């Protein structure tokens, strides 16, 4: 099929993109898009700010995560996949994406008006240690990491895998900033930190 091969070569890839990648990548991207739109709308549901950590303390971490996100999703730089995502891997990663994004929403709804995109204390802030927060201290990050890793495994390019690693690293470093801030500003958080794992249950 010279037309398909030529198109792939123009993108810097060798051979044709697998049919399953043409199905699963757009499907998972659509799930992410729906999540992003709903998440931004939900940002209107938040309480008044009481205290905030300086943004310079986590601005670089956020930029690192953003770079990782774009590397995971964009076909740049153009690279051939290291493996083809067959139906078993593809559908498993779609399920992992759904589960991860649903986990973030469970955490978001459980936090309610206490949620913040930055490192912030809201009025009436307290230690939330029930629901998903009884499983891990940062369930939103846990869900996002699962969904980003799922996309990287389906795309299977070195840039996507590197992007997922940078995404995880960036938000893990940001979570560390949050932890130091909350331990200082929120009574009871230090005890909670010792009882519940950070990103993975029982770890950190």
pLDDT mean over 93-103: 98
Residue 1 in this model has a pLDDT that exceeds 80 = no
**Residues 33, 69 contacting (CB under 8 angstroms):** no
Q: Look-up: residue for tokens 């730089």?
A: 77
8 pLDDT above the threshold of 60? no
Phi/psi at 166 (5° precision) = -65, -40
Residue 5 predicted with pLDDT over 80: no
Q: Which two tokens stand for residue 52?
A: 């905030």
pLDDT, residue 124, reads 92
The label of the residue with tokens 């950190």 reads 204
Check whether 12 has a pLDDT greater than 60. Answer: no
Please report the pLDDT score of residue 16 as a whole number: 39
Given this model, what pLDDT does residue 85 score? 84
d(CA 145, CA 171): 9
Closest by CA position to 142, among listed 119, 108, 183, 118: 108
pTM, full prediction = 0.88
Q: Provide the pLDDT for residue 204.
A: 86
- 144-199, pLDDT tens digit by residue? 999 999 999 999 999 999 999 999 999 999 999 999 999 999 999 999 999 999 99
User: CA 71 to CA 128: how far, in whole Å?
Assistant: 33
Instruction: Tell me the C-alpha distance between 55 and 62, whole Å.
Output: 10
Q: Which two tokens stand for residue 88?
A: 């078993």
Closest by CA position to 32, among listed 72, 83, 90, 64:
72
Query: What DSSP letter does each residue of the chain carry, written as one string?
Result: -HHHHHHHHHTT-SSPPPHHHHHHHHHHHHHHHHHHHHHHHHTTS---EEEE--GGGTHHHHHHHHHHHHHHHS--S----SS---HHHHHHHHHHHHHHHHHHHHHHHHHGGG--SSSEEETT-----SGGGGTBS-HHHHHHHHHHHHHHHHH--HHHHHHHHHHHHHHHHHHHHHHHHHHHHSTTHHHHHHHSBSSSTT--
pLDDT of residue 160: 96
Tell me which CATH code domain 18-195 carries. Answer: 1.20.120.1630
> Around 183, how many Cα atoms within 13 Å sit in the side-chain half-sphere?
12
Domain extent listing, the chain = 18-195
* pLDDT at res. 7: 38
Determine the pLDDT at residue 19.
61
So what's the pLDDT on residue 17?
A: 53
The whole-number pLDDT of residue 10 equals 39
What band does 94 get if pLDDT is binned at 50, 70 and 90? very high
pLDDT tens digits for range 52-80: 999 999 999 999 999 999 999 998 888 89
The answer to whether residue 4 scores a pLDDT higher than 70 is no
Q: Are 90 and 26 in contact (CB under 8 A)?
A: no
Q: What is the pLDDT of residues 113-146, one digit of tens each?
A: 999 999 999 999 999 999 999 999 999 999 999 9
């Amino acid at each position: 099929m010279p037309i398909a091969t030529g198109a792939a070569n123009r993108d810097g890839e060798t051979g044709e993109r697998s049919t399953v990648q043409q199905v699963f990548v757009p499907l998972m991207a659509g799930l992410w898009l729906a999540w992003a739109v709903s998440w931004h709308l939900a940002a209107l549901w938040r309480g008044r700010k009481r205290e905030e950590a300086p943004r310079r303390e986590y601005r670089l971490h956020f930029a690192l995560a953003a770079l990782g996100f774009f590397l995971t999703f964009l076909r740049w730089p153009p690279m051939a996949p290291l493996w083809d995502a067959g139906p078993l891997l593809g559908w498993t990663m779609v399920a992992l994406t759904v589960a991860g994004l649903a986990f973030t929403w469970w955490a978001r709804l459980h936090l309610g008006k206490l949620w913040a995109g930055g490192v912030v204390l809201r009025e009436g802030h307290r230690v939330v240690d029930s629901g998903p927060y009884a499983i891990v201290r940062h369930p939103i990050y846990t869900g996002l990491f699962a969904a980003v890793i799922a996309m990287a495994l389906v795309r299977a390019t070195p840039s996507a895998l590197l992007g997922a690693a940078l995404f995880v690293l960036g938000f893990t470093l940001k979570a560390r900033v949050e932890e130091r801030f909350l331990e200082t500003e929120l009574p009871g958080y230090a005890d909670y930190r010792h009882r519940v794992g950070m990103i993975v249950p029982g770890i950190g």
